[in-house]
Chain A
Amino acid sequence: MPAAEALLSGVPALEAALGEVAARLGAVTVQVHAGGRSAGAGVVWLRSGLVVTNAHVAAGPAVEVVLPDGRAVRAMVTARDPRRDLAALSVAASELPAALRADARGLRPGELVIAVGHPLGVAYAAALGVVHRAPTGAAGPAGWLHADIRLAPGNSGGPLADSAGRVVGINAMIVGGLGIAVPTHVIERFLHEAEGGGRGGARAA
């Protein structure tokens, strides 16, 4: 009922909007289990079953992925880059809803960001924060997206999104209380290189 929703303002509108963005992000966020350790998160990048997560989350050649609908499926780790802390997973499922994405290099300090992940084992928990510093272009984590947001282990590999719910990075580490995310353009470059270096693996379905 658009007419009723249009009447929302102030805090109710904020809550409704945050709820919507969190739900939309949750629909493209998976749980990644690698052995006995607690779960990390991952983001569905392509409908064909390509999931992106952190290299430190996807330890080993294969992991178990729990999809948002609760299905547990096996996933092959098709590419891994510890330096950029990225891994590509190929999930044996298709027609998955994939994340909308935006370039983190256009972000401004103070813009709202929303994270979804499984902090300390709490599945699909959302957090709200702001851009602390946009990616600077410097190599490595120092140049990545810094967010003033409260994250915990279990957010690793999960999405960090802008106010429109578009993924601008995946959360990789916490440094000095700041959430540090690998920005989308670094992820795209990693996927591009992975595809060029190992076509068969990256496209397995």
Chain B
Amino acid sequence: MPASSTDGFLAALSNDLAAAADTVGRSVVAIHARRRIPASGVVWQPGVVVAAHHTIQRDGDITLTLHDGATASATLAGRDPSTDLAVLRLADGTGGPPPAAQAAEAPRVGQVVLALGRPGPAVTASLGIVSAVGGEWRTWQGGTIDRFVRLDLAVYDGFSGGALVDAAGRVVGVNSSGLARAAALTVPASTVSRVVGQLLAHGHVARGWLGVATQPVRLPPALQRSLGAGQEGGLVVVNVEPDSPADRGGVLIGDILVALDDHAVSDPGDVLAALGGERIGQPIVLKVARGGRAQQLTVTVGARPRARG
């Protein structure tokens, strides 16, 4: 059969992909911290492994399988459920596998990418493209992700915590199936680095906290008129944690929260967005409707209690 002039092209592309998988695959580990199959993790700094929070189902007795088949034990340095990330430290202080190189540029729609995982002894791959890229977004648990990156590729069992890799063998992000239903998402490398820094320093990602549970409601027309500014919805307070910042600030069940620091709120996400870690200890002005009249309460933002268990 005559050799074809295009053979070389496909072989070169195939080689590039396999080389990228091999290079980054050395930094992809298997994490044994749950029943069923192991999950994946990526060596992010020397001796530091990033994992998907939802795959780390116990806080101790965590072991890793490295690229060369060696087993290492690891300790949990911290977890951030809001971005579904957890950080492990290799226990014996030895360097372990080398950290993966990170892509400096933002992912682009149409970019060819590989997802790598190690849900067992061998590294495994899937191929696809970046299907959508958006701006900063907030997870349903209030975590801030620098960029929305949706993937058109198959994320197989045990791939959460694995690496998204570009054709040059650089890590674009850490994949997670725990952030959105029905779509594979990647947490961009910049967000991972930020969360890793916070978890290594504090063991958790600090977030502001008021201590209220709310539910969106449509404001009665009379209240809409008295508030002005065309605001149609607010958040009815359905619970106030005893001795929380909101409790101390005089918030009552049944109050309708309509603004925080003069910014209208009509969705629980609006409240999360106003409560970054930098607000802890600072006053925030709550505009609430109580008994049909608007009034203002000043609350000192607290630190969200850390998740137990």
Interface residues of chain A, those whose CB is within 8 Å of chain B, are: 2, 5-6, 8-9, 13-14, 16-18, 20-21, 24, 100, 108-112, 129-134, 136, 146, 148, 162-165, 176-178
How far does the alpha carbon of A14 sit from the alpha carbon of B126 in the complex, in Å? Answer: 19
7 smallest beta-carbon distances between A and B, as pairs: A110-B21, A163-B14, A17-B6, A148-B126, A17-B10, A112-B14, A109-B125
Given contacts A112-B17, A131-B125, 6 further A-B contacts (CB under 8 A): A17-B6, A109-B18, A109-B123, A110-B125, A134-B122, A178-B154
Min CB distance, A6 to chain B, in Å?
Answer: 6
**B271 contacts A by Cβ under 8 Å:** no
B-side contacts of A18, CB under 8 Å: 10
Residue of B nearest to A162 (CB): B14
- Residue among B5, B11, B153 making CB contact with A163, cutoff 8 Å: B11
Closest B residue, CB atoms, query A18? B10
* Docked-complex contact A109 and B21, CB < 8 angstroms: yes
CB-nearest residue of chain B relative to A114? B10
> How far apart sit A63 and B156, CA to CA, in the bound complex (Å)?
36
Choose among B13, B14, B22 the residue with the greatest number of A CB atoms under 10 Å from its CB. B14
A129 in contact with B127 (CB, 8 Å): yes
Among candidates A16, A112, A136, A177, residue contacting B156 with C-beta atoms closer than 8 Å: A177
C-alpha gap A2/B2 in the complex (Å): 12
Shortest distance from the beta carbon of B207 to any chain A beta carbon, whole Å: 36
What is the CA–CA distance of A162 and B6 in the complex, to the nearest angstrom?
14
Interface size class of B (residues with CB under 8 A): 20 to 34
23 residue pairs from A and B, CB less than 8 Å apart:
A13-B9, A14-B10, A16-B6, A24-B1, A108-B21, A108-B22, A109-B22, A109-B116, A110-B19, A110-B125, A112-B10, A132-B124, A132-B125, A133-B122, A136-B122, A146-B124, A148-B125, A148-B153, A162-B14, A164-B10, A165-B7, A176-B156, A178-B154
Residue of B nearest to A133 (CB): B124
Interface residues of B (CB under 8 A from A): 1, 4-7, 9-11, 13-15, 17-22, 25, 114, 116, 122-127, 153-154, 156-157
Q: In the complex, are the beta carbons of A164 and B13 less than 8 A apart?
A: no
Give the contacting residue for A5; candidates B6, B17, B22, B157; CB below 8 A: B6
- A17, A131, A132: the one within 8 Å of B7 (CB): A17
Inter-chain CA distance A177–B5, complex, in Å, is 33
Partner of B11, one of A130, A146, A164: A164
**What are the residues of chain A within 8 A of B9 when measuring CB–CB?**
8-9, 13-14, 16-17
Are the CB atoms of A20 and B4 closer together than 8 Å?
yes
A42 to B17: give the CA distance in the assembly, Å.
29
Partner of A13, one of B6, B17, B25: B6
Smallest Cβ distance from B7 to chain A, in angstroms?
Answer: 6
CB-CB nearest in chain A for B167: A110
CB neighbours (8 Å) of B7 from chain A are 17, 20, 163-165
Contact indicator B10/A148 (Cβ below 8 Å):
no
Complex Cα distance, B11 from A109, in Å, reads 14
Q: Which of A16, A100, A110 contacts B114 (CB 8 A)?
A: A110
Complex interface: chain A residues within 8 A of B6 (CB): 5, 8, 13, 16-17, 20
User: Which of B7, B21, B125, B154 has the most C-beta atoms of chain A within 10 angstroms of its own C-beta?
Assistant: B125
B25 close to A109 (CB less than 8 A): yes
Distance between Cα atoms of A21 and B114 in the complex (Å): 22
Query: What residues on A are CB-neighbors of B10 within 8 Å?
Result: 14, 17-18, 21, 112, 163-164
Q: How far is the CA of A20 from the CA of B156 in the complex (A)?
A: 30
Q: Which residues of A contact B11 (CB under 8 A)?
A: 163-164
Q: How far is the CA of A136 from the CA of B124 in the complex (A)?
A: 12
Q: Is the CB of B5 within 8 A of A2?
A: yes
Give the CA-CA distance A143 to B11 in the complex, in Å: 25
CA distance A82 to B7 in the complex (A): 36
Decide if B5 touches A132 in the complex (CB within 8 Å): no
The chain A residue sitting closest to B22, CB to CB, is: A108
The complex places the Cα of A133 from the Cα of B122 at a distance, in Å, of 7
Complex Cα–Cα for A13 and B13 (A)? 11
CB-defined contacts of B14 to chain A, threshold 8 Å: 111-112, 162-163
A100-B1, A163-B10 known; A111 vs B17 contact (CB < 8 Å)? yes
B126 engages A132 (CB within 8 Å) = yes
Least distance between A169 CB and chain B CB atoms (Å): 16
CA distance A165 to B15 in the complex (A): 14
- A176-B18 contact given A6-B5, A163-B11, CB 8 Å threshold: no
B125 proximity list for chain A (CB < 8 A): 109-110, 130-132, 148
Nearest-neighbour CB distance to chain B for A3, whole angstroms, equals 9
Contacts A109-B122, A110-B18; A148 near B127 (Cβ below 8 A): yes
Residues of B with C-beta under 8 A to A148: 125-127, 153-154, 156
